[in-house]
Structure 1
Amino acid sequence: MSAEDAPDSQSVTWRNNREDKCPPDLRLLHFNDVYHIEAGSAEPVGGAARFQIVANHYRLHPRYANQPDLITLFSGDAFNPSLESSVTKGRHMVPILNDLKTDAACVGVSMPPISSVSLKQSHTINSLPPNLIYKSASETANELIPSLRAQGAQIVIALTHAREPSDIKLAEKTHPGLIDLILGGHDHFYSHQVINNIHVLRSGTDFKQLSYIEARQNPNRQSGWDFDIIRRDIVRAIPEDEDTIKLVDKLTSNLKCKLEKPIGYTAVPLDGRFTTVRTRESNLGNFICDLKRHYYSADCALMASGTIRGDQIYPPGVLLLKDVLNCFPFEDPVVVLRVKGRAILAALENSVSLVPALEGRFPQVSNIHFKYDPSMPSGSRILWTKINNEPLDLERDYTMATRGYMGRGKDGYTSLLIKSEGGTAEEVVSEENGILLSMVLRQYFMSLKVLGKWARWSPSLHRHWGHVHNRLHDGGKVKEPADFKHGTKHKRTGTELVHDGEKGKTEVEGKFVDSDTDDEQDEDEDENDKMLASSMASLRSTDDQRCREMHLARVYTRRWMDIVGIERAGVGTVGAQVEWLLPHWTQGIAPRVEGRMLVQSRDEDKH
């Protein structure tokens, strides 16, 4: 089988009216906005392996043997956002893009803010320098392209990464005859228009579509070029490239190994059970909402409890990367909305409207305190609300950190619906500019572990997380690493750091990196994590067995509770009083339940 064996995947987007059948002067393959290398379940399924087959067809098929070499153009966004990129920092995309023989690419807007090294290793830009000069795309095109034409450029292709209206504006405001073709990205759909004799094209998303373009010079046309544009949908009928399958398997297996990476430590149990987070305040919910709020310096944070998917108590001890991704698997980023106080009140009314049902809309909050009466009719349950310990002002504008999902009005949060979706909420940080919650968590735990190095990696990130720590860590919400006074001993031998715990005499070894070394920090961190993870392998196998046992225990406990008539909401909340000894390699988090959500009791009703 070959790419030709799926004729239904091919359609004509644009056909020129030339009568002659001369070979093209230029052959292009264009794609944009790719995030997942594995195929999906719904057509077009996409996937890098099938995409590679189609690309190879246009590059290597004998029918193109005497034609110009294929030029592959990419309009940006590959390294972020996705759950994979939150683990690999985008590295998993580099060999895929290289195998596609990408000749030119536009930098996208969704670059993961992890670290800063060479593009070859797909590390990313953390911040923009001061004194940056902004110039409009059309002004820049009108200024620079004439010199390109004067130097002999026969065709000018604008490779862009912006919303479609921006590309349309570029075509409208650029002087005639300067740009022949605009190949765009950022939007996740296939689209083609001709504006002022300029073809404006975007080629889908996520390895599910591509465009094959043949260009022929035509001196009789104002644009000077005739284009034939073919759309290819990457459907299941297209075979998969064997080498790419092996590469994807290798990358995903590496991903699975990275999921076992220790990234943080909790000094207290973190309660993520559905019976807790969907009925009451949770110390895990408080921690997540506080982190989101302080990350963006918002007035408050509101999160639907359905965001928390772990459905378990995370005991004191090491937190693995898979714990974060399993608990927060969603790929809609954190957003910041500007809304009126009345919208917040309506959102809170919605959040408790279905109590006592275990619904995902039940809230977890930060810098919001409220009391509600579940016996009252839905929509009239909130008794009072405070933000920053002041009564809620219905006419005041507040900034709120939340999920993009809620900004689209899902789970009944219509009062938070953004303006572009027909609502009233103003986007301060939109979905396209926000980052995944799992990425925020990863950055946070990294900052606890290596904060001293961040000053050299990125001063702006160092300052940013310093401010977050100052606001988030008040009142003992973080615990310092163990030292001699806490009953553990550290032993440095050359490049190794050995931690001898009292219980079980577990040894954890790792490469010790002094903060003043000039080694590649990111590589050192990965090496530390690999060695630490390796030393914990035997413990993890035991932990996995315990996880399976705990899952079965939860299932049968719930069934037993239902049989004997015990309300699940009556199960006690995990307290934050018990704290374990901390390891040497990081600070530990210690969030608490603080009384942010109060319930009107029946005894209070009697009085």
Structure 2
Amino acid sequence: MPDRKTEVPPDESITYSSGMRSGPPDLRIVHYNDVYHVDQSSSEPVGGASRFMTLIKYYEEDEIFKGQSNLVTLFSGDAFNPSLESSVTKGDHMVPLLNNIGTDAAALGNHDLDFGVRQFKHLSSKCKFPWLIANVLDPALGDSVPIGNCKKTHFITTSNGIKIGLIGLGEREWLATINSLPPDLIYKSATQTAKELVPQLRAEGADIVIALTHMREPNDNKLAEQTDGIIDIILGGHDHYYSHSVIKGTHVLRSGTDFKQLSYLEARRRTDKSGRWDVDIIRRDTTSAIPEHGSTVELVEKLTASLKTTLQKPVGFTAAPLDARFRTVRLRESNIANWVCDIMRHYYSGDCSMMASGTVRGDQIYPPGPVLLKDIMNCFPFEDPVVVIKVTGQAIWDALENGLSQYPALEGRFPQVSNIAFKFDGQKPSGSRIVSATIGGDPIDMTRKYVLVTRGYMARGKDGYDSLLIEEEGGQAEEIVSEENGILISMMLRQYFMSLRVMGQWKYWGNNMGRHWNHVTSKVNETHTHHDPSTSPASPSTRREASGWDNWTPQKIRERKSSIVRADESDDEDNDKNYDAKQAFIPEIEVIDKEMQIMRRVFAKWARIAHVESRLGEELKDGEFQVDWTRAIAPRIEGRIICVGGEQK
């Protein structure tokens, strides 16, 4: 059923006026960039794909535009990651939205490659528009062929005959942060590439030239400065804010983020023989006053409905209990935190890593057995990416002191670490509790600069981590991998588990992804030994017919979960669409989880009254790990954090 026409509040704000607004424009453009979350946020502008679509439909169909040229919609990259939804769908859910928006062309963004080039090619093949990048070439694809088989340039002819020449450009900086790229990529200067290709676009009849870029604003400004006006408009992405400037006659525009803003441009050809254009730019914020687009609401619900099923699928197996209890991670070393910090460090080849223990939200012991995707998402729900910074030893020491400053309160700032070891005395005054600390086995050199892998949250100085504050925020930490370039911890863990699988890997898991993750897992395996899959897995258990305490022994829980979940299910979109929730017994998993939650609450209350301290269970012994589809993890503690005074039990 078609959507009824909805009234859009007239709350446009003028970003730039040429003073030449008489008569209908020759060209109408909508620009947007960096979209991640399909649902609205809690603060204004709320964004959300459904309200954003209402704005798109307004500029496409409203009566005031009747008789004018059709709308051209351009996107400047980053849609397939990062978000919690993408952690599940690997970006697949964004394709119908980008298509329905009416996107005519897109620049390649760094996060569009987070799942590897093969997955990007799969996603882009389902898009009804081309992806562009002219200055990043992959020799393995042929002479002068862009990465991912993107196009260098593209022509759009509008309904009134205007010929738009498009060129896609990216920056060197974000290429260095993606670990799954093909080897031997060729990066060419954006300016030099533009100087080579823009004249060709003009020679082929382009009336107006627009660069779709995914670069930071200073690089877009540099491009405008060095190309002396040969580009009419630069529509940029990568930065998550709205800005506009005119440099040497070239408009440089970025249009916000996350479906929260868009730009509407009207261009009129000048009547002189200069070939230049007068451009008017209007900013629209996607506020809660804008009604939702009914069809898009339904589409979003449909796209996210399958997430529940996917969340119940196993991504890995643990042979050791994973201790994510607050009273562990916020007071002492934890095996799950050690494992995650090690993955973070080796993923980016840092000297060390540190995360605030509030990152770990599970507040439970995950027993040996299948690890479901929802376990990862629930335990690591935050959407600030992993970042890499360069800081002095003194800054790391101060960060550790900050993390210990509220001990023994169960504060989320307590530090969990990799390649760092420290002893502290909780009875000493805050700010002077560290007794000794090392990085890589050597005492911390206060003047040396170390490469630290951490969370974006901490690099913004949150939870008192002022010493890790990046220069852009007024601190002294040098940013190597920014939040715009980092990936989520939840996605990092999902890819780690995928690299351990011997059956059912992602359909579009490429060789470059495999090589990188083989390196990471081999490094992590030096501390957290992997168990090889069994060649003779246990016979599937039958579904339980009766409840009772006999069903709650550790062995029975593992058997029930392993039999209920189809552990050999291939993790790709095509199989997900045909995944039979009844066959997978997902309702039964929900029953087990609900009963487990009740039992945990009852036991926790009993333990408090009886003054009984619950203990971590044992790791699976030889012969108990009977799964043939993956290697199992076995995270351990190894004395990285030692309390020598005031230890809390």
Common fold: TM-score over 0.5: yes
Aligned to 2:193: 140
1:187-239 deviation digits (Å, cap 9, x = unpaired):
11121212212211111111111111111111338562112222111111211
CA contact (8 A) 2:313 2:567 kept: no
In the alignment, is residue 211 of structure 1 matched against residue 263 of structure 2? yes
In the alignment, is residue 341 of structure 1 matched against residue 385 of structure 2? no
1:360-379 deviation digits (Å, cap 9, x = unpaired):
11011112211111111111
Aligned to 2:444: 392
| CA–CA separation in structure 2 for the residues paired with 1:185 and 1:218 | 28
* Shift in Å, 1:598: 0.9
* Shift in Å, 1:185: 1.2
| CA–CA separation in structure 2 for the residues paired with 1:426 and 1:584 | 45
Aligned to 2:9: 6
In the alignment, is residue 72 of structure 1 matched against residue 73 of structure 2? yes
1:313-354 deviation digits (Å, cap 9, x = unpaired):
111111111110111111111122222222221111111111
Distance 1:162 1:357, change over 3 A: same
Give the 3-state SS of the residue equivalent to 2:114 in structure 1. coil
| CA–CA separation in structure 1 for the residues paired with 2:237 and 2:398 | 37
The 5 Å alignment of 1:525-564 reads: 526=576, 530=579, 534-550=583-599, 552-553=601-602, 556=605, 560=608
CA contact (8 A) 1:181 1:199 kept: yes
In the alignment, is residue 415 of structure 1 matched against residue 462 of structure 2? no
1:50-99 deviation digits (Å, cap 9, x = unpaired):
11111111112233221111111111111111111111111111001111
Distance 1:572 1:385, change over 3 A: farther
Aligned to 1:377: 429
Aligned to 2:176: none
The 5 Å alignment of 1:166-205 reads: 166-176=219-229, 178-205=230-257
Give the 3-state SS of the residue equivalent to 1:598 in structure 2. strand
In the alignment, is residue 488 of structure 1 matched against residue 541 of structure 2? no
Distance 1:482 1:133, change over 3 A: closer
* Shift in Å, 1:243: 0.8
Distance 1:145 1:94, change over 3 A: same
Aligned to 2:161: none
Q: Which residue, out of 460, 467, 470, partners 2:522?
A: 470
One-letter amino acid of the structure 1 residue matched with residue 188 of structure 2: K
* Shift in Å, 1:422: 2.3
The 5 Å alignment of 1:351-366 reads: 351-366=403-418
CA contact (8 A) 1:374 1:600 kept: yes
Give the 3-state SS of the residue equivalent to 2:501 in structure 1. helix
Give the 3-state SS of the residue equivalent to 1:111 in structure 2. helix
Aligned to 1:154: 207
* Shift in Å, 1:281: 0.8
Distance 1:347 1:6, change over 3 A: same
| CA–CA separation in structure 2 for the residues paired with 1:524 and 1:248 | 19
Aligned to 2:552: none
Unaligned runs of 5+ residues in structure 1 are 492-499, 514-519
Give the 3-state SS of the residue equivalent to 1:478 in structure 2. coil
The alignment-based identity, stated in percent, is 53
Aligned to 1:517: none
Unaligned runs of 5+ residues in structure 2 are 132-146, 149-178, 542-555
Distance 1:179 1:527, change over 3 A: closer
Distance 1:552 1:502, change over 3 A: closer
CA contact (8 A) 1:575 1:593 kept: no
- Of residues 420-429 and 300-309 in structure 1, the stretch that sits farther from structure 2 once superposed is 420-429
The 5 Å alignment of 1:447-526 reads: 447-450=499-502, 457-474=509-526, 477-484=529-536, 488=538, 507=563, 522=572, 526=576
Q: Which residue, out of 244, 266, 269, partners 2:318?
A: 266
The 5 Å alignment of 1:244-393 reads: 244-393=296-445
Aligned to 1:36: 37
Give the 3-state SS of the residue equivalent to 2:14 in structure 1. strand
CA contact (8 A) 2:81 2:114 kept: no
Distance 1:449 1:552, change over 3 A: same
| CA–CA separation in structure 1 for the residues paired with 2:465 and 2:430 | 14
CA contact (8 A) 2:255 2:261 kept: yes
Aligned to 1:425: 477
* Shift in Å, 1:171: 1.3
One-letter amino acid of the structure 2 residue matched with residue 541 of structure 1: E
* Shift in Å, 1:392: 2.2
| CA–CA separation in structure 1 for the residues paired with 2:330 and 2:561 | 39
The 5 Å alignment of 1:64-103 reads: 64-103=65-104
* Shift in Å, 1:538: 4.8
- Of residues 147-156 and 471-480 in structure 1, the stretch that sits farther from structure 2 once superposed is 471-480
- Of residues 217-226 and 148-157 in structure 1, the stretch that sits farther from structure 2 once superposed is 217-226
| CA–CA separation in structure 2 for the residues paired with 1:322 and 1:505 | 14
Number of residue-to-residue matches in the alignment? 576
One-letter amino acid of the structure 2 residue matched with residue 162 of structure 1: M
Give the 3-state SS of the residue equivalent to 2:316 in structure 1. strand
TM score, norm. by length of structure 1: 0.87
CA contact (8 A) 1:75 1:160 kept: yes
| CA–CA separation in structure 2 for the residues paired with 1:18 and 1:342 | 58
1:286-339 deviation digits (Å, cap 9, x = unpaired):
111111122222222211100001111111111111110111111111122222
* Shift in Å, 1:413: 1.4
* Shift in Å, 1:578: 4.7
1:11-67 deviation digits (Å, cap 9, x = unpaired):
122222237x32211111111111111112211111111111111111122332211
Give the 3-state SS of the residue equivalent to 1:85 in structure 2. helix
* Shift in Å, 1:482: 2.7
Distance 1:339 1:550, change over 3 A: farther
CA contact (8 A) 1:455 1:461 kept: no
CA contact (8 A) 2:499 2:517 kept: yes
Give the 3-state SS of the residue equivalent to 2:224 in structure 1. helix
Distance 1:557 1:355, change over 3 A: farther
